[in-house]
A and B are shown apart, each in its own frame.
Chain A
């Protein structure tokens, strides 16, 4: 009955240990397509957060009503509804960013991260847990997008959130805000994560040996 610690646990795992982009490599398309500046990355992350949290809530609420055979279709319809909502919301609040993200807002529907969480978690767990999981996963996703976005904007444009960082003498690496830069940035971030995980594994091994 100790629901609280478990929900914190579900929340935290998405942020780091099971980070959707760096560890599970899900939701790659938006992670690369819209991260040419930090602000776009943030907007995309928040839009995905909105969709994931609300679809997790709804799927978890209806988990006993949705027949097993048509569950995927039902999930997709729920997700598509929220994506439509977020599409109109963004268009109303920040038309500039909405225009820059363009079709990629609509493409949140087919982000495998969202459908994956519904299938693997929300459809099997209570509302509270499903919310914690959705929030954790989507914040982890936002964090990953922001990492990529910051790297690409700082190197490719010499600025962060449109504020110039290095003055006029900096020659921007234009390639980083172009498509290849997305592949490179994520490739090297994954490399860093692999290194980090391996190092921690080694440390744990030596620790257990000492004991």
Chain B
């Protein structure tokens, strides 16, 4: 029963309530960094990485600090997550330059991304515990990566097409994203069926 619940949380964050395509979180990098498939994939990995740190931090805050000062929720989330990511970034740089090069420039960029803060807030609202929070972060990060890679793949294909000048750029990307989002809505039935 316990495991089943965790799987649901994972699938829900990954597909049904995809952070990018149905909550509209983290749209700036979604539209900005999805021109090439490889960068998009690396940004996605960095997202998963930061989300896991976020889940750990927000659990710690929720357990030990926020019961005493609920009005500090927002401020403490932002500051603690940002500094934790900085520390981990330094550690990664030292321990595994390989990994650092892959995630590199994206880490500071996405720290104050709304998907990250959104994850912390949603996990708190849903009252997830430690393991549930981690699984939720993994699913959400995977979902963001999936959406990024899909959009980047389609955008790479559109480059060889003959596109009217008027629709080029953000307008086209948004419409592609809309169609992707429609496709993801197909997963909405997963829960009621279960």
Contacts and interface: CB of A to CB of B under 8 A. Distances in A.
Interface residues of B, number: 39
A184 B178 contact: yes
B48 interface: no
Contacts of A32: 24, 27
A191 B167 contact: yes
Contact of A107 (B21, B28, B121, B175): B121
A32 B174 CA distance: 11
Contact of B185 (A28, A106, A115, A180): A180
A109 B78 contact: yes
Contacts of B25: 29, 33, 107
10 contacts: A29-B24, A32-B24, A106-B74, A107-B118, A112-B28, A179-B21, A179-B22, A183-B178, A183-B181, A187-B172
B99 interface: no
Interface of A: 25-26, 28-29, 32-33, 73, 76-77, 80-81, 83-84, 87-88, 102-103, 106-107, 109-112, 115, 175, 178-184, 186-188, 190-191, 194-195, 198
Contacts of A175: 182
B126 to A, nearest CB: 10
Contact of B74 (A73, A84, A184, A194): A84
A112 B114 CA distance: 9
A28 B78 contact: no
Contact of A110 (B23, B113, B174): B113
B122 interface: yes
Contacts of A33: 23-25
B171 A187 contact: yes
Contacts of A194: 166-167, 169, 171
B170 interface: yes
B89 to A, nearest CB: 16
Given A110-B113, A110-B114, A179 B181 contact: yes
Interface string B150-194: 000000000000000011011111110111011001000000000
B31 interface: yes
Closest 7 CB pairs of A and B: A183-B178, A187-B174, A33-B24, A190-B171, A187-B175, A180-B181, A28-B27
B121 A186 contact: no
Nearest to B30: A28
A179 B26 CA distance: 14
B112 interface: yes
Contacts of B27: 28-29, 32
B71 interface: yes
Contacts of B169: 194
